[in-house]
Amino acid sequence: MAAKVQILRWTGPASSPTKTDITNGVTVISTSDVPNPGSATPIQMPMKPGDVRRSFWMTVRLHATQGPSGRIDNIKFFADGLNNFGPGVSLVAAPANSYVQARGVEGEDGVELSMTNHSGLAMDPQDVFSWTADNPLSLSGSLNSGQTGDFGQFVVLQMSVEYSPILEIGETPAEMFIFMWDET
Amino acid sequence: MSSKMHWKAVYDNGVILDGRKTAYEKLDRTKLIYFDLFRGTERVVRIALEDGRQLVYRRRVIFTSSGTERVIHVAGWVKKIGDEYVLSLCYADEYGNITFAGAFDDLVLRPEEKGE
Instruction: Answer whether B61 sits within 8 Å of A178, measured CB to CB.
Output: no
pLDDT bucket at B29, cuts 50 / 70 / 90: very high
Structural domain contains residue B55:
yes
Residue in chain B lying closest to A9 (CA) = B65
Structural domain contains residue B107:
no
Residue in chain A lying closest to B106 (CA) = A74
Q: How far apart are the first and last CA of chain B?
A: 35
Whether A85 contacts chain B with CB within 8 A: no
- Listing DSSP states for A104-161 in one string gives EETTTEEPPPSTTT-TTBSS--EEGGG-BTTBPEEE---EETT--EEEEEEEEEEEEE
Structural domain contains residue B21:
yes
Total domains in the fold of chain B:
1
Substitution target from A69, A78, A131, A134 for chain B, most B beta carbons within 10 A: A69
* Mean pLDDT of the region B104-114: 83
Distance from CA of B82 to the nearest CA of A (A): 25
Instruction: Parse chain A into domains and list their residue ranges.
Output: 4-183
Structural domain contains residue B37:
yes
Between CA B59 and CA A73 the distance in angstroms is 11
Residue in chain A lying closest to B22 (CA) = A69
Distance from CA of A124 to the nearest CA of B (A): 23
Grouping H, G, I as helix, E, B as strand and the rest as coil, residue B112 is: coil
Look at residue B1 in the predicted model and tell me its pLDDT. 42
* Mean pLDDT of the region B7-19: 97
Whether A73 contacts chain B with CB within 8 A: yes
pLDDT at A20 over 50: yes
Look at residue A61 in the predicted model and tell me its pLDDT. 98
Look at residue B115 in the predicted model and tell me its pLDDT. 83
What Å distances lie between residue A146 and A75, A151, B22, CA to CA? Answer: 18, 13, 14
Distance from CA of B59 to the nearest CA of A (A): 5
Structural domain contains residue B50:
yes
Give me the phi and psi of A68, to 5 degrees please: -75, 160
Contacts of A26 in chain B (CB under 8 A): 66
Average pLDDT value for chain A: 94
Instruction: Answer whether B60 sits within 8 Å of A181, measured CB to CB.
Output: yes
Task: State the DSSP H helix or E strand holding residue B48, giving kind and residue range, or none if neither.
Answer: strand B42-48
Look at residue A5 in the predicted model and tell me its pLDDT. 95
Rounded percentage of chain A residues whose pLDDT exceeds 70: 100
Across the interface, of B2, B59, B64, the residue whose CB is closest to A184 is B59
pLDDT tens string A92-151: 999 999 999 999 999 999 999 999 999 999 999 999 999 999 899 999 999 999 899 999
Look at residue B104 in the predicted model and tell me its pLDDT. 55
* Mean pLDDT of the region A25-34: 93
ipTM over 0.85: yes
pLDDT at B2 over 50: no
Residues in contact with B55: Cβ distance below 8 Å, sequence separation at least 6, in sequence order: B9, B27, B29, B32, B35, B47, B49, B75, B77, B113
Whether A135 contacts chain B with CB within 8 A: no
Give me the phi and psi of B24, to 5 degrees please: -55, -40
Give me the phi and psi of A123, to 5 degrees please: -160, 170
pLDDT tens string B53-65: 999 999 999 999 8
Structural domain contains residue B108:
no
* Mean pLDDT of the region A59-72: 96
Contacts of A146 in chain B (CB under 8 A): none
Residue count of chain A, please give it. 184
Look at residue B3 in the predicted model and tell me its pLDDT. 52
Whether A105 contacts chain B with CB within 8 A: no
* Mean pLDDT of the region B38-66: 93
pLDDT bucket at A65, cuts 50 / 70 / 90: very high
- Domain of residue B44: give its range: 5-101
pLDDT at A168 over 80: no
What Å distances lie between residue B54 and A61, A71, B13, CA to CA? Answer: 33, 18, 18
